[in-house]
Every structure is written in C-alpha cells, then in structure tokens.
C-alpha cells in the first residue's frame, strides 16, 4: 500500500459527496489501496458511510447499490439465482441471476478482497477484466448516476465502460445503483470465460441472455443477446436470431483487429479466437441451435 493522502471523509449524506479539490471516492478500497495514489489525489470520501441497502428486489426488478460488496452480491442475488435453477425447463423467477456467482469468480479476487470490493468500484474502474460490466450488461441493467447538479441520470451498463479504464462518469459523479428490470430476471442466462491459467485473470468472457422466458418443446427459439468483455476494452453487445451462427461469425469478423485487447494475460489473436469459440457455445446453450 502506498497511501500518501491527507484526509479520509466518511460520507453520510448526498451533500457530503460533493468532492473538494484533490478528493476521490472510496468504495471498498481494494484497488485504491493496492496501487500508488492516483496523481493529484490528496483525500478520499468513503461512500460506504452512506449506509445504502446492498440490494433489494421487488415488482420492478433488482436494485444493487454501488456499495454492495461482491460477497453480498453472491450471498443475495446470486443465491436467489442459484435457487431458481438455470436448466431449460426450470422456471424460477430469478433464473437470470444464476450467472452472478460465476461472474464474481471471474475476478481473480481472494474471499478477503471480495468481502470488501464493491460493485460500484468494479464498474467505475472500467477494467476490461471487470466482470460486473459483462454481468449487468447481459441483464439489460441501467446504472443510476448521481450528477453534480443534485440530479440523477441513467446509463445502460452496456455503455458505461467506454474503453480500458475509461467510464462514462464525470469527476464527482457517484454510481448510486444498478437496476435490473423485472422482465429479465426469469430469463435464461449463460456465462463462459477463458484465461491462460485456471486461476488467471479473465482474458475473454461472454455472458448472454435469451430474450424470452422459456425454451420448452414447440416454442419458437428465442432471440439472444451476447455480451463480449475482457477480450475487448469495452463491452460489445450482439443480438442474434435463431440459428444465426453465420451472422455471429460475421459480427465477430467485423470487430477491428486492433480492437482486441492486449496485456500479459493474452495476445489479441488468441483472445479473438477464444471469444469466437465462447460466443458460439453461449449462443448454442441459449437456444441459438448448433
């Protein structure tokens, strides 16, 4: 830890979230406390003091607060999803949340880090391997952002991360919560990931959702939404009709070669090939047919 700062303020009200010169927000601190302090940052404003309920679910859908820890996300919404079952004939009301646990496991975090790291911090960082973007984009979620003028704005999670470490958040804006619409909660979802080593950082991740709630014999196969992350700097969303494997190849071929992400966790050509494979698997599993 290299924490050369002067102040830490605990936010208790929205007014406390008005940043003073040199201040930045603190979520769980698992990134901020593991890196040199960002240039110019001399103070932190701890958002966990706001006392937000980590998550809630009602007739309008699921809400996950920015300060919900990854551990709370798995223990709450993740457990609802696991109990609903994800099989084709399952019809649990929270079936879509069956991928929550896998998306959290896709982060290379120890349980100790997951106990503190927050959903808001993961999204606000905007790292390609930040799996909360792939999770919530697949669920068609909206991010609710507290703006500097005291208002709110909503951004689809699929467009919140705009580049590697670049997000659609102005300095001083707070990621208040993520809203998953009720209509998607009962739909089938899928998760695939690849990394160079079994416990290595995620290098390619595909999440997806069938855009209807059942796949019983005789039903029309559903349209499918796939979200590509980790292998690209920002999420790429694809929508496909039944059987459109050729169209899936065409869309992946259309991704500019320079757009595939490169770091020590994988070269672009390998990430592109893995993404194609995982996307076809995910599409097939959701009923896109082989």
Ligand X SMILES: Cc1cc2nc3c(=O)[nH]c(=O)nc-3n(C[C@H](O)[C@H](O)[C@H](O)COP(=O)(O)OP(=O)(O)OC[C@H]3O[C@@H](n4cnc5c(N)ncnc54)[C@H](O)[C@@H]3O)c2cc1C
Q: Summarize as ranges the residues that interact with ligand X (CB under 6 A).
A: 24-32, 34, 47, 66, 107-109, 113, 117-118, 120-122, 124-125, 127, 129-130, 169, 174-175, 201
Rounded to a whole number of angstroms, the minimum distance from the CB of residue 199 to ligand X is 11
Rounded to a whole number of angstroms, the minimum distance from the CB of residue 176 to ligand X is 7
Nearer to ligand X, 29 or 78 (CB): 29
Name beta bridge partners: 225: 209, 239
Residue 53, sorted as left (phi over 0), alpha (psi -120 to 50) or beta, turns out to be: beta
Nearest to 180 by CA among 5, 60, 2: 60
Q: CA 89, CA 183: separation in Å to the nearest integer?
A: 18
Q: CA 154, CA 179: separation in Å to the nearest integer?
A: 10
Any idea what the Cα angle at residue 126 is, between residues 75 and 177, rounded to 5°? 50
Phi, psi values for residue 278, rounded to 5°: -65, -35
Rounded to a whole number of angstroms, the minimum distance from the CB of residue 241 to ligand X is 32
Rounded to a whole number of angstroms, the minimum distance from the CB of residue 273 to ligand X is 21
Tokens matching residue 266? 């994988």
Nearer to ligand X, 124 or 248 (CB): 124
Q: CA 185, CA 227: separation in Å to the nearest integer?
A: 17
CB neighbours of residue 265 within 10 Å:
21
Rounded to a whole number of angstroms, the minimum distance from the CB of residue 121 to ligand X is 2
Q: Which residue's CB atom is positioned nearest to ligand X?
A: 121
Nearer to ligand X, 25 or 260 (CB): 25
Nearer to ligand X, 2 or 217 (CB): 2
Nearer to ligand X, 27 or 54 (CB): 27
């Amino acid at each position: 830890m290299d924490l050369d700062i002067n102040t830490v303020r605990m936010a208790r009200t929205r007014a406390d979230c008005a940043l003073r010169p040199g201040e930045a927000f603190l979520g769980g601190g698992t990134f901020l406390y593991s890196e040199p302090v960002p240039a110019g940052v001399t103070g932190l404003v701890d958002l966990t003091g706001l006392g937000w309920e980590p998550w809630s679910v009602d007739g309008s859908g699921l809400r996950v607060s920015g300060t919900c820890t990854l551990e709370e996300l798995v223990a709450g919404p993740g457990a609802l999803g696991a109990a609903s079952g994800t099989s084709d004939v399952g019809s649990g009301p929270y079936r879509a949340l069956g991928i929550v646990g896998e998306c959290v496991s896709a982060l290379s975090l120890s349980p100790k880090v997951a106990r503190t790291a927050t959903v808001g911090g993961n999204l606000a960082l905007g790292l390609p391997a930040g799996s909360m973007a792939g999770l919530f984009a697949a669920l068609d979620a909206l991010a609710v952002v507290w703006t500097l003028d005291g208002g709110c704005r909503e951004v689809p999670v699929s467009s919140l991360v705009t580049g590697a470490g670049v997000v659609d958040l102005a300095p001083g804006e707070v990621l208040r919560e993520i809203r998953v619409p009720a209509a998607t909660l009962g739909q089938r979802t899928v998760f695939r990931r690849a990394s160079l080593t079994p416990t290595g950082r995620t290098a390619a991740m595909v999440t997806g959702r069938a855009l209807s709630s059942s796949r019983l014999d005789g039903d029309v196969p559903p349209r499918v939404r796939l979200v590509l992350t980790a292998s690209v700097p920002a999420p790429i969303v694809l929508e496909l009709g039944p059987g459109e494997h050729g169209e899936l190849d065409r869309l992946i071929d259309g991704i500019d070669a320079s757009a595939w992400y490169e770091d020590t966790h994988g070269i672009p050509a390998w990430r592109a090939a893995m993404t194609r494979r995982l996307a076809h698997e995910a599409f097939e599993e959701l009923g896109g047919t082989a």
